[in-house]
């Protein structure tokens, strides 16, 4: 009798992940975590994207209170997944203040409370692991938590996280990183006023801006109409978004009052924007791009101007 041909390794890996997701989903349902169980069953790629995974499943009662756009929900779920297998035994070995990587780029979790002697309980981002080791099989661990690790409400829709260095040690507690600019409101207003592409782009690079400019008190944003720049490679997108932001608030009147051909630094290190006025139409331009909707959105800490198109940023990051 001939041996059957070996299965394709990719197909085999997919089959194993499917079985793990199904088994983990069943365990979650047994413990009453039906929302995450359903998401894991039908969208396992959200959680099981690497060789190992630890899922921190949010209780149904807390999930029912989360109302955010789908792209924010995806990021929230991935923020509750670490690309390492971390059963309770391994978590207990980590010292207080240890950082854990997640599936969201540059956003970490932190062990904030650990009780070794009494109950053996652990809090991550000040949220209790209420159901430890709900599922342990192969490279996957699943724990239940009382609520999301990051607050999500109607006033903002991005994830706050502790700052960690390359050694995964705490640099700054997320509770201490109170950004002065109303970034959440800015993202929300951009999205609801037709600047969806730029809102998504800003949301995706926001954590880096918060780390590089933690004390930013006000900003000016030149918002381009929806376009294909959102599909640019990550390093280029990062620079495109930053090139449209000034680290100071300038109303349209402020800009028109600047000296002729004045330059203003933006959030791309070493780069600036050229402000000019058309002699015939008297329309203000930034890097040759007209401001078509001046002062469209503003507060004491920010002002947003609509522009006719996105600034051109070369692949090396320089603005033209």
Q: Shortest CA distance to 217 belongs to which of 141, 146, 299, 288?
A: 299
Residue 229: which pLDDT band, with cuts at 50, 70 and 90?
Answer: confident
What are φ and ψ of residue 70, in 5° steps? -55, -40
Residue 209 backbone class (left: φ over 0; alpha: ψ -120 to 50; beta: rest) = alpha
> Are 125 and 143 within 8 A, CB to CB?
no
> Are 239 and 229 within 8 A, CB to CB?
no
Residue 9: which pLDDT band, with cuts at 50, 70 and 90?
Answer: very low
- Which pLDDT score, from 0 to 100, does residue 132 have? 95
* Domains assigned to the chain: 9-170 (2.30.180.10), 183-307 (2.30.180.10)
| CA 265/CA 170 separation, integer angstroms | 31
- Which pLDDT score, from 0 to 100, does residue 160 have? 67
Residue 230: which pLDDT band, with cuts at 50, 70 and 90?
Answer: confident
Residue 316: which pLDDT band, with cuts at 50, 70 and 90?
Answer: low
| Percent of the chain clearing pLDDT 70 (strictly above) | 83
Determine which of 145-149, 158-162, 198-202, 273-277 has the lowest per-residue pLDDT on average. 158-162
DSSP annotation of 2 reads: P
Which residue pairs from 312-318 have beta carbons closer than 8 angstroms and sit at least 24 positions apart in sequence?
312/287, 313/236, 313/239, 313/240, 313/243, 315/236, 317/235, 317/236, 317/239, 317/268, 317/271, 318/271
Residue 12: which pLDDT band, with cuts at 50, 70 and 90?
Answer: very low
| CA 86/CA 66 separation, integer angstroms | 26
- Which pLDDT score, from 0 to 100, does residue 198 have? 94
Q: What is the mean pLDDT of the chain?
A: 84
CB-count burial class (<10 Å; 0-12, 13-18, 19+) for 132: buried
Residue 154: which pLDDT band, with cuts at 50, 70 and 90?
Answer: very low
- Give the list of residues 6+ apart from residue 2 with CB closer than 8 angstroms, or none: none
- Which pLDDT score, from 0 to 100, does residue 245 have? 97
Element (H, E) at 129: strand 127-137
Highest mean pLDDT among 22-36, 160-174, 231-245, 275-289: 22-36
Q: What is the mean pLDDT of residues 48-54?
A: 94
- Which pLDDT score, from 0 to 100, does residue 22 have? 96
The structure tokens listed for 158 are 């991005």
> Are 125 and 71 within 8 A, CB to CB?
no
């Amino acid at each position: 009798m001939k041996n059957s041909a070996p299965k394709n390794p990719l197909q085999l890996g997919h089959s194993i992940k499917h079985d793990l997701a199904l088994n983990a989903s069943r365990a979650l349902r047994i413990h009453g975590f039906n929302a995450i169980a359903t998401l894991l069953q039908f969208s396992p790629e959200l959680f099981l994207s690497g060789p190992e995974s630890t899922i921190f499943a949010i209780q149904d009662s807390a999930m029912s209170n989360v109302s955010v756009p789908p792209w924010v929900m995806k990021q929230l779920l991935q923020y509750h997944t670490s690309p390492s297998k971390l059963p309770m035994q391994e978590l207990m070995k980590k010292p207080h203040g240890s950082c854990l990587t997640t599936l969201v780029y540059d956003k970490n979790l932190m062990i904030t409370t650990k009780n070794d002697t009494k109950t053996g309980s652990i809090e991550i981002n000040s949220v209790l692991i209420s159901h430890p080791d709900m599922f342990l099989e192969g490279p996957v661990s699943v724990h239940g938590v009382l609520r999301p690790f990051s607050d999500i409400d109607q006033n903002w829709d991005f994830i706050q996280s502790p700052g960690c260095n390359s050694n995964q040690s705490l640099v700054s507690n997320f509770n201490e990183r109170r950004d002065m600019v109303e970034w959440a409101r800015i993202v929300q207003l951009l999205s609801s006023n037709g600047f969806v592409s730029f809102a998504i782009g800003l949301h995706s690079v926001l954590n880096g801006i918060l780390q590089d400019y933690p004390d930013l008190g006000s900003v000016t944003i030149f918002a381009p109409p929806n376009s294909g720049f959102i599909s640019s490679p990550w390093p280029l997108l990062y620079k495109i978004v930053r090139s449209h932001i000034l680290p100071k608030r300038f109303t349209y009147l402020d800009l028109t009052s600047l000296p002729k051909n004045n330059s203003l630094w933006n959030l791309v290190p070493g780069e600036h924007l050229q402000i000019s006025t058309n002699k015939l139409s008297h329309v203000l331009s930034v890097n040759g791009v007209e401001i078509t909707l001046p002062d469209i959105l503003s507060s004491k800490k920010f002002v947003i101007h609509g522009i006719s198109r996105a600034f051109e940023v070369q692949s090396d990051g320089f603005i033209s």
